[in-house]
Structure 1
């Protein structure tokens, strides 16, 4: 399946959009909520007027949230959305999950294996590079630990100087001291889930054991 993870001091940042499609974002909470509601409305309207099979991530990004964010960015007397968005689509047959990242100006990029968003391009690129090296066959407990380490790398890269890449040891040290005031939030698009909706938020109990070592003092 697909795993989405972050650590945040604020409101929830991972959501279901439609059956096999999920939404995540960083930025201003009010703008994230506006974009979340907008993309859900677009998805359900397409599903009603067309069919569920017509609700695809490519369509939602190319004709929905991408143009919406671009219009707000381009208009002189309108505030742009202060947000970066990541959307994921599960392939129920396992042939090709899809990821899109959408920037505040409405520009977007597609990836077939993994994607990341952050406060700047260097941080997102560092995370994406590590995710691309990660096996897609990891069991969930190992994938959670790996995703948290990649998040930590991205967070440290935000403060790094001259393009310096933090070491794995520095990332683990940061996570052990830097997660106390944050909530780790994770969701999955579960290919094996029998329900029509494949989206599932992981509970704190489900996260506790796989991530226990990162909270040890």
Structure 2
């Protein structure tokens, strides 16, 4: 009779974490950082249909890297949670912290389930406040851990290298044009210190949570010519409204 193969729980969890980490690292990075009037999301993404950054609720947005089908399921679940909670109680009761806790429970359950592979995703949930001191940014790892980030966060790809670059250059109260160009410069850097790439607007997915918007919904995408003008340093382009086709559908699935 053969001896059953035994793997310690610690080793099994370490193997699952390494499996998820390698899957996430193969994806292209997403940068989330604060600026004077809100929070900006910048992802390297050539697709105009498969979004890495999306609206969840009035003041809350979601960014993710990894397997699209897995983080899209989580996004849809987050929208349903937010809609139900806002309808049952009050819209003010829907918070990024509450949503991050829901995602943490879901990811933690999947990660520890015997026989199921862990999700190969890393998430960012952000909420814009009335002032920059009220902004919230949470990063969630595949095992369900939640990290309360300050000022900026990077997920996917060369996250460590990009994070170090941002840490040396990000400043509180930056204008949107400066924050956007900093994020793009960080994404364009080579992890091995080579010549930085040139990223065009067509290769980027950009959105903001803008606290100055008079609308209840603070999320908007920055596309096409408006993105090009902002990258060129035209601060007035930030006041342009996105075209009707770029507006997010009502937050319901």
User: Runs ≥4 in structure 1, deviation > 4 angstroms?
Assistant: none
Distance 1:100 1:18 in 2: 15
Aligned counterpart, 1:183: 203
Q: 1:102 aligns with which of 124, 136, 140?
A: 140
* Equivalent position SS for 2:76: helix
SS at match of 1:44: helix
Q: Which residue of 1 aligns with 2:98?
A: 59
Q: Is structure 2 residue 180 aligned with structure 1 residue 144?
A: yes
The whole-number CA distance in structure 2 between the counterparts of 1:50 and 1:77 is 37
1:14 pairs with 2:53:
yes
User: CA deviation digits over 1:158-215, x for unaligned, max 9?
Assistant: xx3xxxxx3xxx4xx4322xx46962110000011000000000011111133369xx
Deviation at 1:83, TM superposition (A): 0.8
The structure with the largest alpha-carbon Rg is 2
68, 80, 85: which is aligned to 2:106?
Answer: 68
Asked if 1:2 is matched to 2:39, the reply is yes
Q: TM-score if structure 2 supplies the norm length? A: 0.70
Partners of 2:201 and 2:39 lie apart in 1 by 26
Among 119, 123, 126, the alignment partner of 1:81 is 119
- Report whether the alignment pairs 1:31 with 2:70: yes
Gaps of 5+ in 1: 161-165
Give per-residue Cα distances to partners, 1:4-36, cap 9 Å, x unaligned. 001124421110011111100011111121011
On the 8 A contact 1:186/1:202 being kept in 2, the answer is yes
2:81 matched residue in structure 1: 42
Aligned residues: 193
Instruction: Report Cα offsets for 1:22-52 as digits up to 9, x if no partner.
Output: 1000111111210110111111122122221
Q: Tell me the residue number matched to 1:206.
A: 226
Mapped partners of 1:55, 1:71: distance in 2: 22
Cα root mean square deviation, aligned: 2.1
2: distance between equivalents of 1:181 and 1:27? Answer: 22
* TM-score normalised to structure 1 length: 0.81
1:58 Cα shift? 1.1
Q: CA deviation at 1:108?
A: 1.6
In structure 2, relative to structure 1, the CA distance for the partners of 1:210 and 1:195 (3 Å cut) is closer
**Inter-partner Cα distance in structure 2 for 1:199 and 1:180:** 22
Structure 2 counterpart of 1:174:
196
